[in-house]
């Protein structure tokens, strides 16, 4: 059931009139240009930059307290399910693990220019880079070639690089 109600004071719109133009708000572009900061902000930034490092480290906690910004709580999952004795035994195990370094980096120190092509080919095998990227990486020596690998894998890479004429070291 439809019903129409007619208003007695209805004035018909002029057919030749242009429609109203609405100004839509500008959308927020996080990567777009930003307006320059005010003089007050620039002066504040200069004062902060002039502070010693110890005092600059105190700014963030003081602002968080002043604005009553809730502090993020750290969540620790260490010790959960590690042993039947609870979290204390698990904590000692994690301390032992921290003492042992498990992730190593392989750094190319220098290389023989005559063996540059062989070194680039070898770098490509374990970095899965393209020819151009591997060439640029080798030419930047000294440079870290691979990060966060096991000690055995790092030793294997170092041996392969030494075999083709490069000097590489393992960093912790």
pLDDT score for 112: 86
In a domain? residue 26: no
In a domain? residue 89: no
Q: Once rounded to an integer, what is the mean pLDDT over residues 141-163?
A: 88
In a domain? residue 108: yes
pLDDT score for 73: 62
In a domain? residue 167: yes
pLDDT score for 12: 65
- Tally of structural domains, the chain: 1
Q: Once rounded to an integer, what is the mean pLDDT over residues 35-60?
A: 89
Residue in this structure with the two tokens 């005559």, named with its chain if needed: 114
Q: Once rounded to an integer, what is the mean pLDDT over residues 138-145?
A: 86
Instruction: Please choose, from the candidates 110, 122, 117, the residue with its C-alpha nearest in 3D space to the C-alpha of residue 157.
Output: 122
Q: Which residue has the higher pLDDT, 83 or 32?
A: 32
Q: Which residues contact 73 (CB under 8 A, 6 or more apart)?
A: none
Is this prediction's pTM over 0.75?
no
CA-to-CA distance for 123 and 114, rounded, in angstroms? 16
Range of the domain at 143: 104-171
CA-to-CA distance for 151 and 102, rounded, in angstroms? 7
In a domain? residue 159: yes
140 close to 73: Cβ distance less than 8 angstroms: no
pLDDT score for 63: 84
Query: Where are the alpha helices (H) located in 24-150, listed in sequence order?
Result: 39-50, 53-57, 59-66, 87-99, 116-127, 131-139
122 close to 162: Cβ distance less than 8 angstroms: no
Residue 125's CATH number: 3.30.1390.10
| CA angle 19–22–23, rounded 5-degree value | 150
95-140 residue pLDDT tens: 555 555 678 888 888 888 888 899 898 888 888 888 898 888 888 8
pLDDT score for 50: 92
In a domain? residue 113: yes
Q: What CA dihedral angle connects 105, 109, 110 and 116, to 10 degrees? A: 10
In a domain? residue 111: yes
pLDDT score for 30: 62
In a domain? residue 128: yes
């Amino acid at each position: 059931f439809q019903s129409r109600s007619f208003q007695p004071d209805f004035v018909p719109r002029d057919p030749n009139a242009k429609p109203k133009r609405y100004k839509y708000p500008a959308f927020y572009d996080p990567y777009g240009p930003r307006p320059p900061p005010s003089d007050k902000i620039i002066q504040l930034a200069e004062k902060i930059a002039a502070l010693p490092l110890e005092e600059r480290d105190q700014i963030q906690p003081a602002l968080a307290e002043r604005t009553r910004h809730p502090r993020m709580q750290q969540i620790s999952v260490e010790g959960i399910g590690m042993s039947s004795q609870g979290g204390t035994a698990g904590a000692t195990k994690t301390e032992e693990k921290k003492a042992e370094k498990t992730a190593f980096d392989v750094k190319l120190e220098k290389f023989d220019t005559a063996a540059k092509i062989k070194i680039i080919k070898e770098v490509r095998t374990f970095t899965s880079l393209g020819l151009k990227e591997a060439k640029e990486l080798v030419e930047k020596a000294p440079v870290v070639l691979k990060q966060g690998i096991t000690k055995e894998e790092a030793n294997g890479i170092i041996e392969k690089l030494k075999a083709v004429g490069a000097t590489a070291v393992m960093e912790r």
